[in-house]
Structure 1
Amino acid sequence: MASRCPVSAGSVRRGGMRDNPPEKEASPETGDSMTDVRFATIGTSAITERFVAALAEVPGTRYVAAYSRDLSRAKEFGESRGATLAFDDLNALAASDQVDAVYVASPNGAHARQASLLAQGGKHVLVEKAFASNEREATEAFARAHESGVVCMEAMRNLHTPGFHNVAANLARVGRVSQATFRYGKVTSRIAKLRAGEHVNQFDPALSEGGLMDIGVYAVEPAIALFGRPERVSASLLTIPLPWEPEPSGAKIDLAGSVVLSYPRAIVDLNYSKVANDFYGAQVAGDAGTLMWEQTNCPADLRFVPYEDKGMVYSAAGGKAEVIPANMPDNDMTCEVATFVDAINGDVDALGRVAFCERVTVGSLAVMDEARRQAGIRFPADDAR
Structure 2
Amino acid sequence: MGTVRFATIGTSGICERFLEALAEAEGADYVAAYSRDLDRARAFGERYGARLFFDDLSELASSDEVDAVYVSSPNGLHADQALAMIAGGKHVLVEKSLAANEREARRVFDAAREKGVVAMEAMRNLHVPTFAAIERVTASELGAVRLATLRFSKVTSRMARLRAGERLNIFDPALAGGALMDIGVYCVEPAVALFGRPKTVRALAVTAPVPGCAADDPCSTIDLAGEALLGYGDKIVSLSYGKMCDDVIPSQVEGEEGTLLWDQTSCPVNPRVHDHEDKGLIFRMEEASTRPVPAEVPANDMVCEIDDFTAAVRGEAAALEAAARFERVTVDSLAVMDEIRRQVGVRFPADLAE
Normalising by structure 2, we get a TM-score of 0.97
Whether 1:125 and 2:92 are equivalent positions in the alignment is: yes
CA distance in 2, matches of 1:203, 1:325: 38
**1:186 aligns to 2:186 (yes or no):** no
**Deviation per CA, 1:113-149, whole angstroms, max 9, x where unpaired?**
1111111211010000000000000001100000011
User: Does 1:360 pair with 2:329?
Assistant: yes
Q: Bigger CA drift: 239-248 or 147-156?
A: 239-248
Is 1:218 aligned with 2:170? no
Q: Determine the structure 2 residue equivalent to 1:329.
A: 298
Q: Where do 1:160-179 residues align within 5 Å? A: 160-171=127-138, 172-179=140-147
Q: How does 1:220-259 map to 2 (within 5 A)?
A: 220-245=188-213, 249=217, 251-259=220-228
In structure 1, what is the Cα distance between the partners aligned to 2:325 and 2:50?
A: 32
Provide the residue aligned with 1:44 in structure 2: 11
Deviations 1:327-371 (A, max 9, x none): 110000000000001111111111111111000000000000000
Q: Does 1:55 align with 2:22?
A: yes
User: Quick one: distance in 1 between partners of 2:56 and 2:331?
Assistant: 28
Q: Any stretches of 5+ residues in structure 2 without a counterpart?
A: none
Count of aligned positions: 352
Which residue number corresponds to residue 195 of structure 1? 163
Give the superposition deviation at 1:317: 4.7
Q: Is the 8 A contact 1:307 1:317 kept in 2?
A: no
- Deviation of the 1:201 alpha carbon: 0.6
Query: What is residue 34 of structure 2 aligned with on the other side?
Result: 67
Q: Amino acid of the residue matched to residue 242 of structure 1?
A: V
Aligned to 1:292: 261
Verify the 8 A CA contact 1:308 1:317 in the aligned structure 2: no
Change (3 A) 1:103 1:196: same
Q: Quick one: which of 259, 275, 281 aligns to 2:244?
A: 275
C-alpha separation between the residues in 1 aligned to 2:250 and 2:280?
28
- CA spacing shift, 1:317–1:350, aligned 2, 3 Å: farther
Q: Secondary structure at the match of 1:313?
A: coil
- Matched residue of 1:174: which SS? coil
SS in 2 for 1:194: helix
CA distance in 2, matches of 1:247, 1:140: 32
Alignment partners' CA distance in 2, 1:86 and 1:311: 68
Contact persistence 1:182–1:296 (CA under 8 A) = yes
Distance 1:247 1:293, change over 3 A: same
Question: What RMSD in Å do the two structures reach over aligned CA positions?
Answer: 1.3
Q: In structure 2, what residue type is equivalent to 1:223? A: A
2:283 aligns with: 314
Which runs of structure 2 are paired with 1:6-45 in the superposition (5 Å)?
Answer: 13=1, 35-45=2-12
Aligned equivalents of 2:34 and 2:51: distance in 1?
12
Q: Deviations over 1:129-184 (max 9, x none)?
A: 00000000000110000001101100000000011110001112111000000000
SS at match of 2:299: coil
Q: Deviations over 1:268-317 (max 9, x none)?
A: 00000100111112100010000000111111221101111011111235
Question: 3-state SS of the aligned residue for 2:207?
Answer: strand
Aligned partner letter, 2:277: E
Deviating runs (4+, > 6 A) in structure 1? none
TM-score (norm 1): 0.89
State the distance in 1 between where 2:13 and 2:133 align: 28
- Match among 221, 231, 237 for residue 262 of structure 1: 231
Q: For residue 210 of structure 2, what is the amino acid of its counterpart?
A: L
